């Protein structure tokens, strides 16, 4: 039996992509069991695999973990990406929550009604350039170290770099005034495990577009 983590989700980024990024950055190989129909999802629900009846779900170390933050925290702890003490973990959590705030806005953008999309895009650009990106730039500027916390790679750096890729997909110009963030993105992207994950043909998911959204609607019935 394989000892690799097994990821249960549909073939898209969604709430699983941060988990893929974190495992990949840790150098941990993983398998994916794709949910391709509502029947596949119901099977997981009925056999007791989903504590709260929802995915993502990751089978790891004999457990079936759900809830994205719980999964990410376990992986970060397992692979030493969660700081050396309580204070560092608190900072890592704080920065990770900031990443999640902006990331959630971007992730939900495809669900926005067409007549509201431009308004949402304007809001995302405003929040990115006036709040979140300056905040992270200032953290790096304040200590002039390579990473956000303790001058060591943590899950906060990985989640932030993932977010920076999404921001660039929306509008490459948004990072223009944040040289330290661009430097962090380059630094993390050049780590061997991350560099491999960013190559074509990896388990990284690309933007899904309408086909991905339609697939999600059929599986999750929304």
pLDDT at 213 (0 to 100): 84
109 shares a domain with 181: yes
Query: What is the number of domains present in the chain?
Result: 2
Q: What is the CATH number of the domain that holds 170?
A: 1.20.1050.10
Q: Is residue 217 part of a domain?
A: no
71 shares a domain with 29: yes
62 shares a domain with 147: no
pLDDT at 197 (0 to 100): 98
Percent of all residues in the chain with a pLDDT value above 90, rounded to a whole number: 91
pLDDT of residue 209 exceeding 80: no
109 shares a domain with 39: no
What integer best gives the mean pLDDT of the chain?
A: 95
Q: Would you call 144 exposed, middle or buried from its count of C-beta atoms within 10 A (0-12, 13-18, 19+)?
A: exposed
Q: Is residue 37 part of a domain?
A: yes
169 shares a domain with 106: yes
116 shares a domain with 33: no
**Which residues form the domain of 203?**
6-79+197-210
* Cα(68)–Cα(214) distance, integer angstroms: 23
Q: Is residue 41 part of a domain?
A: yes
Q: Is residue 163 part of a domain?
A: yes
Percent of all residues in the chain with a pLDDT value above 70, rounded to a whole number: 99
pLDDT category of residue 1 using cuts at 50, 70 and 90: very low
Which of 98, 63, 67, 95 shows the shortest CA–CA distance to 81? 95
* Cα(138)–Cα(135) distance, integer angstroms: 5
Q: Which residues contact 77 (CB under 8 A, 6 or more apart)?
A: none
129 shares a domain with 56: no
pLDDT at 2 (0 to 100): 56
151 shares a domain with 73: no
183 shares a domain with 203: no
pLDDT of residue 205 exceeding 70: yes
92 shares a domain with 183: yes
103 shares a domain with 44: no
């Amino acid at each position: 039996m394989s000892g690799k983590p097994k990821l249960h989700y549909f073939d898209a980024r969604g709430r699983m992509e941060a988990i893929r990024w974190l495992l990949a950055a840790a150098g941990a190989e993983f398998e994916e069991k794709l949910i391709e129909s509502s029947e596949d999802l119901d099977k997981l629900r009925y056999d007791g695999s989903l504590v709260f009846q929802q995915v993502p779900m990751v089978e790891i170390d004999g457990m079936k973990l759900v809830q994205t933050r719980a999964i990410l925290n376990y992986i970060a702890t397992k692979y030493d990406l969660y700081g050396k003490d309580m204070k560092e973990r608190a900072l890592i959590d704080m920065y990770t929550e900031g990443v999640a705030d902006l990331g959630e806005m971007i992730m939900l953008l495809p669900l926005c009604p067409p007549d509201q999309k431009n308004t949402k895009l304007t809001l995302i650009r405003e929040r990115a350039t006036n709040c979140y990106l300056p905040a992270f730039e200032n953290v790096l500027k304040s200590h002039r170290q390579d990473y956000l916390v303790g001058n060591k790679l943590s899950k906060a750096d990985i989640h932030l770099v993932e977010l920076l890729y999404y921001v660039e997909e929306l509008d490459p110009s948004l990072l223009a005034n944040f040289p330290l963030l661009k430097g962090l993105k380059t630094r993390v992207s050049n780590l061997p495990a991350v560099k491999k994950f960013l190559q074509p043909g990896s388990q990284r998911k690309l933007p899904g577009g309408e086909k991905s959204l339609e697939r999600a609607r059929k599986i999750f019935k929304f």
